[in-house]
């Protein structure tokens, strides 16, 4: 933005430096404003969670839920994470917000448990900044025990950026999670820069293939070949695979044929409220009739 402002300022013969400053301070001001509002919103408990199911790709059985944070803003309505997570990450507020998310997940699991619902694991998205502190484990364990929840019901989603830095703190914490029976999920796989070499040093249980790959599945053989190779590699390393962002029946059927273990996406369910999840938990499958694979696949 600043560059464009400079360019147009020069082109129009005006003082470029002034334009540059003005633009920068606007951006910074907007950031600081959101940051201040976030602090207040954390106190007022304006953040809520939606949950998106992950299902077995052959049977549609519920395998897990992903907790996704939203800001229930009093004036602006429900705000998506893209609006505030990046700011929370640079300002460090993500540590507080992240802890609140952990607390909400544990409270919710306790509520579902109280209603005698068939519980399934809930995955929590964790930022590098949270993992780089050595107290994440203690915080998680405290909230789990305060709510009478088995920590093995919690799963941790990290992105490739968390594992490429090769930090001892990160590695030790991830190993400690595993030891407690908490599954580790590698989120948005294929968009970062992690290599197969790095993958073997981390005990990831599940690899989440980024939705960009899923979206491309129907556009020719190469994407399918790529996803197929990722699945084979993951299986060889002892990991299961979940495809993110499954929106069409054709994508689902292809992923079933490629032996992708699990699927997640709008086709099965959008992220929904905890109340809506309570109903989904009681279903034997989240697939509708048409989602079951046809026997005569043309591949």
In the shown chain, the binding pattern of residues 130 to 159 toward ligand C2E, with x for contact by CB under 6 A and - for none, equals ---------------------------x--
The smaller minimum CB distance to ligand C2E, of residues 72 and 188, is found at 188
**Which of these, 24, 73, 70, lies nearest to 50 by C-alpha position?**
70
Least distance to ligand C2E from the beta carbon of 252, Å? 11
H or E segment and range at residue 211: helix 211-216
Could you tell me which residues are beta bridge partners of residue 243? 209, 263
Could you tell me which residues are beta bridge partners of residue 186? 158, 207
Applying CB under 6 A, which of residues 155, 187, 261, 262 lies at the interface with ligand C2E?
187
Least distance to ligand C2E from the beta carbon of 92, Å? 12
Q: Determine the 3-state secondary structure of 49 from DSSP.
A: strand
Q: Determine the 3-state secondary structure of 260 from DSSP.
A: coil
Q: Which positions from 87 through 126 interact with ligand C2E, judged by CB under 6 A?
A: 94, 98, 101, 125
Between CA 18 and CA 187 the distance in angstroms is 42
Torsions phi, psi of 93, nearest 5? -60, -15
- Picked from ligand C2E, Mg ion, none, the partner binding residue 245 (CB below 5 to 8 A depending on kind) is ligand C2E
Where does this chain touch ligand C2E (CB under 6 A) — which range of 7-15, 54-62, 263-271, 290-298?
263-271
The smaller minimum CB distance to Mg ion, of residues 109 and 209, is found at 209
Strands 240-243 and 206-209: parallel
Between CA 93 and CA 252 the distance in angstroms is 38
Is 53 a binding residue for ligand C2E by CB under 6 A? The answer is no
Where does this chain touch Mg ion (CB under 5 A) — which range of 97-105, 148-156, 173-181, 242-250?
242-250
Least distance to ligand C2E from the beta carbon of 15, Å? 40
- Picked from ligand C2E, Mg ion, none, the partner binding residue 81 (CB below 5 to 8 A depending on kind) is ligand C2E
Show the beta-strand stretches assigned E in 84-210: 122-125, 154-159, 183-189, 206-209
Is 127 a binding residue for ligand C2E by CB under 6 A? The answer is yes
**Which of these, 66, 135, 150, lies nearest to 95 by C-alpha position?**
135
Could you tell me which residues are beta bridge partners of residue 131? none
Where does this chain touch ligand C2E (CB under 6 A) — which range of 25-33, 131-139, 240-248, 282-290?
240-248
Is 190 a binding residue for ligand C2E by CB under 6 A? The answer is no
Q: Determine the 3-state secondary structure of 3 from DSSP.
A: helix
Q: How far is CA 36 from the centre of its chain?
A: 25
Is 206 a binding residue for ligand C2E by CB under 6 A? The answer is no
Q: Which positions from 154 through 193 interact with Mg ion, judged by CB under 5 A?
A: 157, 187-188
For the chain, the farthest-separated pair of C-alpha atoms sits apart, in whole angstroms, at 71
Is 250 a binding residue for ligand C2E by CB under 6 A? The answer is no
Least distance to ligand C2E from the beta carbon of 80, Å? 4
Is 125 a binding residue for Mg ion by CB under 5 A? The answer is yes
Q: Are 216 and 223 in contact (CB under 8 A)?
A: yes
Interface ranges with ligand C2E (CB under 6 A) = 52, 68-69, 80-82, 85, 94, 98, 101, 125, 127, 157, 187-188, 211, 245-247, 265-266, 271
């Amino acid at each position: 933005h600043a560059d464009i402002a400079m360019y147009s300022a020069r082109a129009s013969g005006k003082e470029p430096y002034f334009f540059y400053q003005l633009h920068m301070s606007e951006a910074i001001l907007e950031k600081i404003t959101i940051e201040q509002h976030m602090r207040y919103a954390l106190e007022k408990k304006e953040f809520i969670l939606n949950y998106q199911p992950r299902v077995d790709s052959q049977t549609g059985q519920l395998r897990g839920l992903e907790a996704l944070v939203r800001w229930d803003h009093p004036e602006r309505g429900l705000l998506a994470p893209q609006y505030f997570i990046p700011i929370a990450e640079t300002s460090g507020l993500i540590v507080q917000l992240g802890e609140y998310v952990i607390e909400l997940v544990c409270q919710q699991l306790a509520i579902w448990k109280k209603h005698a619902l068939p519980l399934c694991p809930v995955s929590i998205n964790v930022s590098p900044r949270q993992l780089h502190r050595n107290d994440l484990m203690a915080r998680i364990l405290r909230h789990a025990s305060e709510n009478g929840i088995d920590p093995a019901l919690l799963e941790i989603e990290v992105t490739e950026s968390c594992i490429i830095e090769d930090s001892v703190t990160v590695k030790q914490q991830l190993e400690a999670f595993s030891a407690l029976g908490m599954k580790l999920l590698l989120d948005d796989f294929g968009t970062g820069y992690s290599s197969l070499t790095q993958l073997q040093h981390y005990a990831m249980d599940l690899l989440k293939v980024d939705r960009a790959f899923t979206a491309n599945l129907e556009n020719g053989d190469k994407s399918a070949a790529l996803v197929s190779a990722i699945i084979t590699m993951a299986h060889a390393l002892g990991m299961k695979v979940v495809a993110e962002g499954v929106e069409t029946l054709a994508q689902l059927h292809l992923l079933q044929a490629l032996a992708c273990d699990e699927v997640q996406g709008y086709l099965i369910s959008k992220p929904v409220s905890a109340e809506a999840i309570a109903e989904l938990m009681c279903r034997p499958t989240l697939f509708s009739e048409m989602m079951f694979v046809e026997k005569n696949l043309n591949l």
